[in-house]
Amino acid sequence: MSKLVTIYGGSGFVGRYIARRMASEGWRVRVAVRRPNEAIFVRPYGVVGQVEPVLCNIRDDASVASAMRGADTVVNCVGVLNELGNNEFGAVQAEGAGRVARLAAEQGVARMVHVSAIGADAESDSEYSRTKAQGEAGVLAHMPDAVILRPSVIFGTEDQFFNRFAAMTRLSPFLPLVGAETKFQPVYVDDVAQAAVAGVLGQAAPGVYELGGPEVKTFRALMQQMLDVIYRRRVIIGMPFLMGRLMAGVLDIVKFVSFQLFPNHVLTRDQLKNLRRDNVVSEGAKKFADLGIEPTTLESILPEYLWKFRPAGQYDDIQNSASNLRT
């Protein structure tokens, strides 16, 4: 019988790419998610019955244990960018990660891969970054040979980075940015998935890997590159952190007084803290090169999914070609 991997958060942005790659490797894939009925799309990644979504709440021991029963390897991709309801940073990123590792050790699971983030720091003033570090510590306490992946900002078809800002260009001639000079090292989602698969297959040595793409660019430069891809001219405005703090504070208050009926998906005070720090691979860290992976460039991927934000969508290139013929 083929081997089994349980992927927690396997229908999410990163998890679905890992699930697809593991299915192509011939493994049975169990996709552990809160809403299995919304993860049916993962089934065609393999043959009938090879990839199956199952119900799991990472905040519950019995649920997590049931999802990994019989698994040879587990992958944890669960994380939140914004707290909502019971899905708080501590409960999901710290306690949840530690729970998966503890139960994996108890069940004798051979390997674990954990997806964290660049900037994970137990001393950080950001709760997001602090709980990421706590999650890593919990994983290593129970699974000391785990492979931990720390990607920079991740891009790809379903991302909430370039898609989000590209959508904003449809509404305004201005593109306001807080932390415009902060540096990022965007990494392609399928490269992160490839690194995770290397960990599952035992092709990666245990330890922490920081994953960044081949280019380091400021937030402003990334937005300009996006604008070039979608054929739009917008004025990029670098907002001072003071203004960002006021805006984030108001939005967080609205979220609180509305009992989260109006969640803050624009800018939170915690996100603002992370925008003050560069999000790039640190000196001396293990990286893609240590996994034998050559990271994918932005320019080779962005046009594949941002074309829908062009003024004429998929017809823009056709119109430009026709204009050249007339001249």
**Biggest alpha carbon–alpha carbon distance for the chain:** 71
pLDDT for res 326: 58
237 falls within a domain = no
pLDDT for res 4: 98
Distance between CA 156 and CA 27 in Å, rounded? 24
Q: What percent of the chain has pLDDT over 70?
A: 97
Q: Work out how many domains the chain is built from and give that number.
A: 1
Provide the CATH number for the domain around residue 116: 3.40.50.720
169 falls within a domain = no
Domain encompassing residue 194: 4-156+186-213+279-295
Sign of torsion over alpha carbons 291, 293, 297, 300:
negative
The model carries a pTM of 0.95
Question: Which letter does DSSP use for residue 96 in this model?
Answer: I
CA nearest neighbour of 74 among 8, 17, 140: 8
Per-residue pLDDT, averaged over 158-168, amounts to: 96
270 falls within a domain = no
Q: Please check the confidence at residue 251 and state whether its pLDDT lies above 90.
A: yes
225 falls within a domain = no
